Structure 1
Amino acid sequence: MGMSVSVSRFLAIAGVVFGLAPALAQAQGTTISGQVTGTGGEPVAGASVSIPTLRVGGFTDDAGRYTFVAPASATGTTVTLMARRLGFLPSSAPISIAGSPISQNFSLSPSATQLTGVVVTALGITRERSQLGTAVQQISSSDLNTTHDMNVLNQLSGKVSGVVMNQSGTQGGSTNIVIRGQNSITGSNQPLFIVDGVPISNKNHGSESFGGGLDINADGGLGKDYGSAIDDINPEDVATVTVLKGPNAAALYGSRAANGVILITTKKGSNTTGRVQTQLTSSLTWDKPSILPDYQNEYGQGAGGEFYFLNGKGGGVNDGLDQSFGPRLDGRSTGCTFVPGTHTDPPESPFSPHVYDNTVPCAQFNAPNGAPWIAHPDNVSSFFNTGKTLANTLAFSGGTDKAQARLSVGSQQVDGIIPNNTFRKFNGLLSGSLNVNDRLTASADMQYINNDNHNRAGTGYNSGILEQFVWFGRQVDMNALRSSMGDGSGNLSNWNYNFHNNPFWLQYLNPGEDVRDRVTGNVSARYHIADWLDATARSGTDLYRWQINQDFGQGNLLYANPSYAGAYTQFSEYSNANTSDLLLTANKRAGSHLQFNATFGGSRRFERYNNDQQSTPGITVPGIYNASNAGITPTLTSFVSKRQVNSVYGAVATTLNDWWTVEVTGRNDWSSTLPSANNSYFYPSVNTSIVLSDAVPFLKSGVLSYAKLRGSLAQVGADADPYQLQTVYLGQPTKFGSRPQVTLDNSQKDPNLKPEETKSGEVGLELGFLDGRASLDMSYYAKSTRNQIVNLTVSPASGFQSQVANLGRIDNKGFEALLDVTPIRTAGGFQWNTTFNYSQNKSKVVSLAPGIDTYVIYSDWYQNLEARVGQPYGVIYGYTYLRDGAGNLLLHNGLPQLGDQAVIGSVQPKWVGGWNNDFRFGPAQLSFLFDFHKGGKIFSVTNMWGDYTGIFKNSLVGRQVDWNNPGLVVKGTDDANCGTDPKCAAGTPNVTRVTAEQYWESLYYNAEQYTYDDSFVKLRNLRFGIDLPSVFASKLHASSVNIALIGNNLWTSTKVPNIDPEFSYGTGNAQGFEFATIPNTKSIGLNLRIVP
């Protein structure tokens, strides 16, 4: 009901505003409009059309149309109108501004170069790319949204140099994105997101660990990835995405710029002479798990080659162990129970088969007596559904030369691969602009988003669904679990009653729902003071409410108290951030040789955040999940924080002879989360660019057509989270009699805290070849972050567990390259464009606190993810094999032993890249993108348990033996003669045989064995589309109709066994540890786009 009312209100408001838009035009000035097309007449979306000397312009919509207003002060002048689009050669036309509307169309010729044109930069200011001294990459809507993944961040995978991304398999889950390496040890390393000039939250609740209790605020709360807030953006509403790579390009954002910035500009309305144009985009895809483990199907549940009975809830069926080292799956229908007196439980001699009673029918879980003892090879894959995603966006746009508006309504309906998991999203975006008079232009945007996700599956080791699939007996029939989740007496039915929940019971009788309602918007007004001076005032808001409810049925092994009828947790989060800016922008030429660009302004950002949570592990009456039914007093928590940052900033750029630009920027922030003595901090930067091909004309040739050198220096930083200055008392859920109880916070705060500080330098070279047929953009950068704000572990004798402090330094340096080429372009209309990007980043933890050489970022399964001095950020520190002096395994009784803990490797990739190809011939288009990830390490608990339990095919080694020569001989040195010699010089080669079960169980906790090289290649996107004949399009009153076959994540090549090497546990820093992740999906489907 709440969603339908909110949606109805949004549509009602949008209808009124959209309907009135044409009537609001009462302005002077000169409206300039037209259409930009390719050489074949097809519309070119996302093209920039501008008058550089007046600093006014706009972008084309999906129909290639643009509109903007030139100030009245320009009346009577002749100016140059420029049209540019990445992948096309620029075009220009002289126009005379006389006060009446001007219509000017452009036809752009294809080009590979991305080195010229207008791009959106910091504070939303458009700049000539040739004048930029920093690394900026812009992706247009047509290049971004090729296969219509509804997560806008996923669309960036493999397309932007310097960016490392990891996707989540959870439906509506989060995407981890890092630009040019991690800067902060414990703080956020995610970039700042700006949508239409408004900073928006990318808050994430998700599993950073392999479990999690009832506290959703805790790492890994409920073991679920609840997604991140940036996922709310509808990719169909995006006009451009601009990536400001690191501090140098983002310095004007000050304390939020250290991790880079992603600027998202949404689509706007255009001049359609009062007509309303309608555009429809619709896609339908079918989804399957991309990678599932490779299971063995020769041996069933049990131990030592025998059945293992336990007279528990299962009434004596084979429920004593959940490993699959039992008897061979030989199809027997009798002989599954021992002859009395012929066995011990558990069997003491695994190499001596016991005597079975062949007169008694086999009785396995939920199967009739005499059911054959056989494998069910698809018992895991058959759990997953074929998912389905239906996404539709309907957009209306139009206007006159005085006012323009655009309204889009989008919906996404997902039936996930996990049974009973559904996801629904509604997007509504309304934008409009009005030329109030010849000097004043006003604009506004409002967006409403509703996300509703039912029954997300948990990940990690939390008695959830995915955990079972590394224990699942190979004889278990998944259809039996599906058809019977309980018996007539209310007892749960499962393949093992003692350790696991029925996966279908978890999804159908443990209901969960998370709903996020969000409103973002901004209003702005620009006043044209003079031909060279504008003033802009804008204010924006980002507001959302997030409600997460999770219920647990009676008998849930992890979350519900067995003495009660179930459990629940309820979590509510509210966030509101308001940002206001006032800017003065100047653009002045002094003669024909000098051009000055300047921006001065100030801003105020105020954030309010609060959450409330209640949970109990025990309710009284089944099925009623609220406080009135609590059998155990609920735990209640509440948190409120506020933050305010006031800022002033400025940037001055001077361009000489249109080929040498020098820009100086500065920003000062005052943060409320820092002490008064340290809350004011200044962030300067300087950058320069020299267009060498213009400065030294003889450099140009038939091969080299463009050359630019750039360089920059910057200093930015990050403030602290709220409540880091003073140690406070925390309220407790229980009372002492009638009085409330409080405890001292276990973290000691620092009243002298300083902001984190990042200094960065960068140089770059941009080259164009063959008159636009090829371009190369290269960057080298180095940056250093000091005064890290961390919670440092301290001695319990201090009365605290941790202490907030400034410490440490992390350095990053790297190289990036972006190559664009058009190898083939024929007069017959065939063209091939190819793009390759490459990024390499090397990080190093230079120092921590005095006397401390390591900081544990995350720990689980006796292994750590650490920031260790002298090592890259994020090394896996865990147990290794015990070896002799020659490096051979040192064995005890024939089995490997755990050695010392050591650094096993870094989770950071050696390099990442992407190769994108686009083929066009007449009405047909074919595009595909390969995503490369070389190096880096991951620790896979899935593989560790899959071998330990004997269900992975790898665990068959050593089982196919006869009783006279059982097991396997592990290659290594026998420690029998070692004595006290740690290098075991007197050791002899091992000859002791062990069983496969003994061998694989001995590798438990061995991080060296289960840490893998995370290299992979993915076919990330594939699209084959065709423009339908114009005769058909005209019947729909459209300029073009395109239908396409689309695919995502269709193929993966990796040496990592049994899992997808790409995974994400939220957006935090606990990356590189994998366990029971929901598999990423591969999808294939159809897309329809109708453009007016």
Structure 2
Amino acid sequence: MRKHKLFFLFIFVFATAIIQAQIRVSGIVSDQNNDPLIGVTVKVIDTNVGTITDLNGKYTIAVPAGKNSLEFSYTGFTTLRMPVNNQAYINVTLKESIKQLEEVMVIGYGAMKKRDITGAISSISAQTIEEKTPISIYDALQGQSSGVQIVTGSGAPGEGSEIRIRGVSTFDEGASPLFVVDGVPLDNVDNINPNDIESIEVLKDAASAAIYGSRSANGVILVTTKKGERTRPRVDVRYLRSYSTLSRSMPRANGDERRYYDDIRKQYLVGGDYLINIVDSLAYITNQDLDIVNLLFRPATRDQVDFSVSGASETFNYYMSTAYLNEKGIIVNSDFDRITSRINTEYKPSKSLTVGSKVQFAYSSKNGIDEDGVLNSLLVKPAYLAILNPDGTYIPNISARRNPLAVAMTDVNKAQTYRASMYEYVDWKLSEKLKLNSSIQMNYYQERYQRRRSSTQLSTEEAGTPNSGSRDRTLINYEITNENYATYTDTWGDYHDVTAMLGNSINFWGVERLNMLGMNMTSDIIYTLNAASSFDARNTSTNMSRSAMLSYFGRLTYGYKGKYLANFNMRYDGSSRFGKDNRWGAFPSGSVGWRFSDEKFMRFSRQVLSDGKLRASLGVTGNQRIGDYDAWQLYSPNFIYEGISGIAASNLADRNLGWESTTQYNGGVDLVLFKNRVRISIDYYKKLTDQLLAKVELPKESGFQTTRRNVGAMTNEGIEGSIDFDIIHKTDLKWTVNLNVANNKTIITRVADDIPFYRGMHDAIYVQPNARLGEFYGYQYQGIFAFDESNAFTPDGQRLTPVFSNGVFQNSYYLGSQPYSGVVEQKKAANGDILKGGDVDLADTDGNWIIDLNDKKVIGCAQPFLYGGFSTNLTYKNLTLSMMFYYSLGGQIYNYALARQNSFEFDGVTPTPYAIENMWTKPGDDAIYPVPKKSEHNRLAPSDFFLEDASYIKLKSARISYRIPGSKLEKVFLKGVNVYVYGNNLLTFTNYSGYDPEFRGGGDALTLGIDQNSYPRKREFGFGLNVNF
């Protein structure tokens, strides 16, 4: 009994000690307006003890013995730490966070608080980039900013993309925005490692971009790379491994289907009875049934290793990284290797002086394929024809049928690039108000491209003749820029904030080119030009060009109480690329903002409206991305007449050539709701581009084919918006969602001499004044004539039905359900021949019963109605799921690849199984496709039959990651480990029949939406490991 009393006494004393050791702290957390904050995370520092505030902003937490600090954190507000000091009741007021309204954004020649921005700017963080596991900046940007389209030309490894910000603002040159990476202007960012990026800012309106003047007509994208943080030295190692496959397969006719097609085609080519293509069991070459797709396409891999070291002290910070990427293509003999290295350093020898350096080097090697030769040969090659001999050697091309595997494996298409950039700068703080900045930027780029056609690809008629060729091309670009500017910042009283900036810039560009074409190669093993027996003089040349630009720029910003805001920019550029009288261009812009949420009359809304701002801007930007000497008379030594070389004029001078300018209006509203849980931004804009720079055709008697002129005008008008939700924000569970959407309409308002012109394959795109960009111009498909007599219409265009009895035409017709005895009209081809059974029935829009060019009309448009992205991020404790969708709704695609395959205009092409099954073979067939023979009118001419809906929704990326916290890794000297699995291009919801509705189209800004059968996109699955030391 005594033992039991002692035991209970011990328990009582121990429990009392524990209770006394713990301190229960309660309180209320509110904002600066004394409104309670719901869901604020309250934690005891250096413990796992935590709670959140209730609906009234109240909290209660037990603080263990030996702990004396609480941490209060909430989305949109500054994290606050408070000492306990034996207090039982602690009330806390949180201030708006730097990461939200006070976030500092890079704006070009400076930075500005997000709450003071009056232009249209969007920002993408390093965390968002990492969640997408991108290969390039283009992958990182897609779907993250409203009004930004990423247009990919090909799915080949290392293939670049193009970016469109608020539509297209030019005809030919410079449709992509200007990239500025750590102060260095770049036109190409293929070799930038996404893991080095700290943030990306997209300057969309003129008020934001005009500070870059003549290079900003298509917007500006500012890329800031990482720097060291004030911690102990940090080492990050990342490894990624992925596996890729063809995202979508196309139906392909087997050997028997192709033989059937050949037999029908021969019947109509030769005439007579149905011809049977007998299979010779001993004929190895023509007795196959190959799945050539499986021979050409393969599972592919991607390996990526990143290593970085960073750190900082009071006077010095550094970030150094090296990365290696190896990406295999899903088509054999295609791959991409990239090595990047970066060193960012900053030194402060005194409080007033900062010296910095940012240096980057990149090397890449791309082995490509001849996409036209491989993919279009795949359409041509019958499945019954062998591509390999029994000994494994390639079978030569048979007539026009190229061997796609031989093209892929023996062609050489190799591009090697070297890039080095350097940004050296000095910041000198003369006083608390005045700061000087001086920098020198150097950028060097070299590319060597080698192309060879092997003799293996010669046809059987050419076998044994050494007429293969090899091309060797070298391009060198370099740029040197010096910029100097001063920034003055002052505050008058408590209400007036003024910032003024004034500076100048000097740019110098140089380009050198070497191009050589060797013919009659003596060896397939040696593809360098020393194996060439001869050279093509017209395609062998060297040249160089130089250009320069001198600029002056300035900015003035003013804010009153943080409520009334104004921003004015001016840039004055002089370019050597234009004529003497047009070298200088002025590019002004201005914007104003009103923070209406701070007005007294809006106090009633503070429970809902955390921040509200109206914005308006107007400005002018320019474009000078043309040839260095387009305005000058040029002479070329490549003129050859009767075997004698000489010098002749090669370019017609135009001293009136001047700036392409874009005037842009923008109005927007920014809203922050429910204590920063919902953030909305909406913008309306209109861009008026004038004096468009484009090449125009000249009369033959001029002696020149084209010249560059200021010839046209166009407008872009649209509305865009984004919304961010912090749906759940608890200690262990967080869920955020982002949605952005944009609508843009591009109208061409003027062309050269007001004369419409065509672009694209078979003139599919019609460019005319007061019409939409990307309009398809072609015929209207109305079916296939079942009989010769089916080509019958009333004079007013109504279709007649022929009457048959026992298969014999009764020389009579029905109009609907009634007999018809009037005049019968018949459609004719352009050569006057009457169209017969099996021919395509096209609409006779001009009513003259002749199907010719006059019957073509606008049949569709490539421009989408809506496009944008949707992303979600769900975190439970240390487990995170992130997904990003991209969509494009509306618009059409001209499926030229399918038109070429199923038009039956080419003897060697293999149609799809569906076309073979539904082609017209005999009178009376209710067919979808015509008789398999060449027609009197070109079936390849664009028609709405091959026009398809371009709408799609894609699950672009998904990632599941688990973070092992540093507290569990201290024994192995690690700060953190993150493991993840991910997928890219996982799902596509679309009605389009081609490989992928997401592609660039033709070769310039005008030829949108034409699918020419480029390298397909891949579907990728992978895993990764990030380790922090």
**TM-score band w.r.t. shorter chain:** 0.7 to 0.9
RMSD: 3.4
- The residue that corresponds to 2:769 in the other structure is 869
Q: Which amino acid counterpart does residue 914 of structure 1 have in structure 2?
A: G
- The residue that corresponds to 2:673 in the other structure is 769
Q: Tell me the TM-score normalised to structure 2 length.
A: 0.81
* Of 875-884 and 443-452, the range deviating more from structure 2: 875-884
Deviations along 1:720-777, one digit per CA (max 9) or x if unpaired, are 431122222112175877x7412322x4331111211111110000111111111110
| Contact 1:908–1:937 (8 Å) recurs in 2 | yes
Deviations along 1:950-988, one digit per CA (max 9) or x if unpaired, are 542321433699xxx7772358xxxxxxxxxxxxxxxxx
| Distance change (3 Å), C-alpha of 1:235 and 1:108 | farther
| Contact 1:693–1:699 (8 Å) recurs in 2 | no
Q: Which amino acid counterpart does residue 1017 of structure 1 have in structure 2?
A: I
Cα shift at 1:940: 1.5
Task: Give, in whole Å, the separation in 2 of the partners of 1:834 and 1:953.
Answer: 44
- 1:729 paired to 2:635: yes
| Distance change (3 Å), C-alpha of 1:591 and 1:482 | farther
Q: Secondary structure at the match of 1:519?
A: strand
Q: Determine which of 124, 127, 145 is the counterpart of 1:142.
A: 127
Cα shift at 1:556: 3.0
| Distance change (3 Å), C-alpha of 1:384 and 1:970 | closer
Q: Determine which of 894, 906, 918 is the counterpart of 1:939.
A: 894
Task: Give, in whole Å, the separation in 2 of the partners of 1:166 and 1:38.
Answer: 42
Cα shift at 1:451: 0.1
Task: Give, in whole Å, the separation in 1 of the partners of 2:141 and 2:970.
Answer: 34
**Residues 475-554 of structure 1 mapped to structure 2, 5 A cutoff:** 475-476=384-385, 481=388, 486=393, 492-493=394-395, 497-554=398-455
- The residue that corresponds to 1:420 in the other structure is 333
- The residue that corresponds to 1:1044 in the other structure is 980
- 1:895 paired to 2:871: no
| Distance change (3 Å), C-alpha of 1:805 and 1:176 | same
Q: Secondary structure at the match of 2:520?
A: coil
| Distance change (3 Å), C-alpha of 1:345 and 1:493 | farther
Cα shift at 1:459: 2.1
Cα shift at 1:798: 2.8
| Distance change (3 Å), C-alpha of 1:970 and 1:415 | closer
| Distance change (3 Å), C-alpha of 1:111 and 1:286 | farther
Cα shift at 1:894: 3.8
- The residue that corresponds to 1:835 in the other structure is 738
| Distance change (3 Å), C-alpha of 1:895 and 1:705 | same
- The residue that corresponds to 2:914 in the other structure is 954
Q: Secondary structure at the match of 2:661?
A: strand
| Distance change (3 Å), C-alpha of 1:1065 and 1:643 | farther
Q: Secondary structure at the match of 2:383?
A: coil
Deviations along 1:597-647, one digit per CA (max 9) or x if unpaired, are 111111011110111100133223443334443223333122311111111
Task: Give, in whole Å, the separation in 2 of the partners of 1:859 and 1:673.
Answer: 28
* Of 622-631 and 1068-1077, the range deviating more from structure 2: 622-631
Q: Determine which of 184, 188, 212 is the counterpart of 2:170.
A: 184
- The residue that corresponds to 2:820 in the other structure is none
Q: Determine which of 120, 132, 142 is the counterpart of 1:157.
A: 142
**Residues 240-319 of structure 1 mapped to structure 2, 5 A cutoff:** 240-272=199-231, 275-297=232-254, 299-302=256-259, 306=263
- The residue that corresponds to 2:1009 in the other structure is 1072
Question: Of the two structures, which has the highest relative contact order with CA contacts closer than 8 Å and spacing of 6 or more?
Answer: 1
Q: Which amino acid counterpart does residue 865 of structure 1 have in structure 2?
A: I
| Distance change (3 Å), C-alpha of 1:346 and 1:40 | farther
| Distance change (3 Å), C-alpha of 1:943 and 1:874 | same
Q: Which amino acid counterpart does residue 692 of structure 1 have in structure 2?
A: F
Q: Secondary structure at the match of 2:586?
A: strand
Q: Which amino acid counterpart does residue 504 of structure 1 have in structure 2?
A: L
| Contact 2:693–2:708 (8 Å) recurs in 1 | yes
**Residues 649-668 of structure 1 mapped to structure 2, 5 A cutoff:** 649-668=553-572
Q: Determine which of 682, 691, 716 is the counterpart of 2:621.
A: 716
- The residue that corresponds to 2:16 in the other structure is none
| Distance change (3 Å), C-alpha of 1:386 and 1:236 | same
| Contact 1:553–1:622 (8 Å) recurs in 2 | yes
**Residues 773-788 of structure 1 mapped to structure 2, 5 A cutoff:** 773-788=677-692
- The residue that corresponds to 1:14 in the other structure is none
| Distance change (3 Å), C-alpha of 1:133 and 1:1000 | farther
| Contact 2:691–2:710 (8 Å) recurs in 1 | yes
**Residues 628-1027 of structure 1 mapped to structure 2, 5 A cutoff:** 628-635=530-537, 636-696=540-600, 697-698=602-603, 700-719=605-624, 720-732=626-638, 740-745=645-650, 747-827=651-731, 829-850=732-753, 852-856=754-758, 858-860=759-761, 862-881=762-781, 886=797, 892-897=836-841, 899=851, 900-947=855-902, 948=904, 949-958=909-918, 968-970=925-927, 995=931, 1003-1027=939-963
Q: Which amino acid counterpart does residue 895 of structure 1 have in structure 2?
A: D
Higher-Rg structure is 2
| Contact 2:76–2:101 (8 Å) recurs in 1 | no
| Distance change (3 Å), C-alpha of 1:754 and 1:995 | closer
Task: Give, in whole Å, the separation in 1 of the partners of 2:798 and 2:863.
Answer: 27
Deviations along 1:225-270, one digit per CA (max 9) or x if unpaired, are xxxxx11000000000110014231010000111000111001122
- 1:457 paired to 2:348: no
Cα shift at 1:897: 4.7
Q: How many residues get paired? A: 890
Cα shift at 1:348: 2.3
Q: Secondary structure at the match of 1:299?
A: helix
Task: Give, in whole Å, the separation in 2 of the partners of 1:712 and 1:94.
Answer: 40
Cα shift at 1:997: 6.7
- The residue that corresponds to 2:22 in the other structure is none
- 1:1055 paired to 2:991: yes
Structure 2 residues without counterparts, runs of 5 or longer:
1-39, 47-70, 83-91, 784-792, 800-825, 828-834, 843-850
- 1:1084 paired to 2:1021: yes
Q: Tell me the TM-score normalised to structure 1 length.
A: 0.76
| Distance change (3 Å), C-alpha of 1:699 and 1:194 | farther
- The residue that corresponds to 2:509 in the other structure is 607
Q: Secondary structure at the match of 1:968?
A: coil
Task: Give, in whole Å, the separation in 2 of the partners of 1:953 and 1:571.
Answer: 42
| Distance change (3 Å), C-alpha of 1:1002 and 1:715 | closer
Structure 1 residues without counterparts, runs of 5 or longer:
1-36, 44-82, 96-105, 203-229, 307-324, 327-342, 368-372, 487-491, 972-992
Task: Give, in whole Å, the separation in 2 of the partners of 1:187 and 1:434.
Answer: 41
**Residues 173-212 of structure 1 mapped to structure 2, 5 A cutoff:** 173-202=159-188
Q: Which amino acid counterpart does residue 692 of structure 2 have in structure 1?
A: Q
Task: Give, in whole Å, the separation in 1 of the partners of 2:460 and 2:706.
Answer: 28
Task: Give, in whole Å, the separation in 1 of the partners of 2:268 and 2:574.
Answer: 70
- 1:90 paired to 2:45: no
| Contact 1:552–1:560 (8 Å) recurs in 2 | no
- The residue that corresponds to 1:239 in the other structure is 198
Q: Determine which of 296, 299, 316 is the counterpart of 1:383.
A: 296
Q: Which amino acid counterpart does residue 841 of structure 1 have in structure 2?
A: N
| Contact 2:399–2:461 (8 Å) recurs in 1 | no
Q: Which amino acid counterpart does residue 378 of structure 2 have in structure 1?
A: F
